[in-house]
Structure 1
Amino acid sequence: MTDNRHGGDRAASDASPLSRPLAAAEVPPEGLDVDIVASGEERDALARLNALAAVLGLSATLRVRRWRGDGLEVLGELRARVRQTCVLTLEEFDADIVEPIELRFAPPREAPRPRSRRHEAEPESLDHDALGEDPPDTLIGGVVDLGGVVSEFLTLALDPYPHKPGAAFAEPAPEDASPVVSPFAQLRRRREEPPAGG
């Protein structure tokens, strides 16, 4: 399934410049392959969102499958080419990003039923499994926005302090760091100098 279309439903597009909503009911038991390619307009919006000079290209290959009944698991990889500004030289440079995607979604949990007095002493069940996995994201209305997932992983993959290859921070020379010489240092220097004509 290849998706180059803009947007999606209005609610999803308000949340992310890149929106590709997918209903859990559309995912067959064997899973679904989804390819996402951002349009020029979407790349421009993503560049503004992430304070980038430009997003030159963005695509993602995803595998969506059912997870624990009515949940979803999204696995795949995003590839992007972005134009960033070096924090040292203030020059723009292009960088390639390859980022794996792995995320799970589950419907909101129902409110716990009130306990009867005979069960008050029973220990509560564990919220997370014994392996310590991160809890799944909430699947709201049975729909996951795959574009929003890709946008989020792009933001997380960006270096907040981008450095142009080869750029290095040069510390100022000690004399440049403290150009003002104290009067006491000047007096000491005069005392150490040999007398004139001596």
Structure 2
Amino acid sequence: MNPEFSRRLALAHVPAEGVAMRLEAAASDREALSRRLGLLALHVLQADLRLIPDEEGAILVTGRLTAELEQECGVTLVPVHQSVAEEVAWRLLPEGVEPSDGEDDPDDIESEQGVADLGEALAQQLSLAIDPYPRAPGAALPEGVDDRETHGPFAALLKLRRP
């Protein structure tokens, strides 16, 4: 896969005292990402990050991702604006370091040959932060329709329910 918003970082190039950086997606990156994520538009995607090496050779990354985007309303199909602001907490792992699976641990991002892709990690975090069922203000399903009852894996079983 060739990521739309690739920002590769060699872990060995992060200084011992750490470094701050801002990643910002260019218009072509945002356009490609909006197609991948099924968005009408991705107006802004940026992150302010702080990278600090730890004693295991991993890089601790903290910061904030922000995005401005438009999606289609799930009911009316009109554009719905969404602002995203997410805290970033990652651990970039050098090869040979096992990911941790603690609930409160930062997300582990494995590197290939000592290089991690911060842009792709941001794109994946954005994909998880986007509202999966956007609705325009005032948009509602027609009277008597409950989308929880009529859709999903158990919808057919609901029809068999006895009154």
Shorter-normalised TM-score: what interval? 0.7 to 0.9
Change (3 A) 1:45 1:68: same
More helix by share: 1
What is the Cα deviation at residue 98 of structure 1? 0.7
TM-score (normalised: structure 2): 0.78
Structure 1: give runs of 5+ residues left out of the alignment.
1-13, 111-126, 174-198
Distance in 2 (alpha carbons) for counterparts of 1:169 and 1:107:
49
**CA separation of 1:157 and 1:131: change in aligned 2, threshold 3 A:** closer
On the 8 A contact 2:89/2:107 being kept in 1, the answer is no
Match of 1:30 in 2: 17
Task: Find the partner of 2:71 among 61, 77, 84.
Answer: 84
Inter-partner Cα distance in structure 2 for 1:75 and 1:146: 12
Give the superposition deviation at 1:130: 8.3
Instruction: Classify the secondary structure of the residue corresponding to 2:113.
Output: helix
Deviation string for 1:52-92 (max 9, x for gaps)? Answer: 00101111111111123311111111111101100011111
Q: Which TM-score applies when normalising by structure 1?
A: 0.65
Aligned CA distance change for structure 1 residues 68 and 171 (closer, same or farther; 3 Å): farther
1:92-131 alignment runs, 5 A limit: 92-109=79-96
Q: Secondary structure in 2 aligned to 1:140?
A: coil
Report what 2:4 is aligned to.
17
1:162 alignment partner in structure 2: 134
> What is the total number of aligned residue pairs between the two structures?
144
Identity of aligned residues (%): 34
Aligned residue in 2 for 1:123: none
Paired position in structure 1 for 2:124: 152
Task: State the secondary structure of the residue aligned to 2:131.
Answer: coil
Partners in 1 of 2:93 and 2:122 — Cα distance? 18
Q: Is the 8 A contact 2:8 2:116 kept in 1?
A: yes
**SS of residue paired to 2:48:** strand
Separation in 1, partners of 2:127, 2:76: 22
Evaluate the alpha carbon distance shift between residue 37 and residue 134 of structure 1 in structure 2; reply closer, same or farther with a 3 A threshold: closer
Give the residue type in structure 2 aligned to 1:23.
A
**Deviation string for 1:19-56 (max 9, x for gaps)?**
11111111111111110111110000010000000101
Query: Highest Rg: 1 or 2?
Result: 1
2:74 and 2:101 map into 1 onto residues whose CA distance is: 43
> 2:100, 2:122 → 1: CA distance?
26
1:136 paired with 2:108, answer yes
Q: 1:151 to 1:128 in 2, by over 3 A?
A: closer
What is the rounded CA distance, in whole Å, between the counterparts of 1:37 and 1:134 in structure 2? 22
**1:62 corresponding residue in structure 2:** 49
Gaps of 5+ in 2: 146-163
Could you say which structure has the higher strand fraction? Answer: 2
Q: Distance in 2 between matches of 1:161 and 1:65?
A: 36
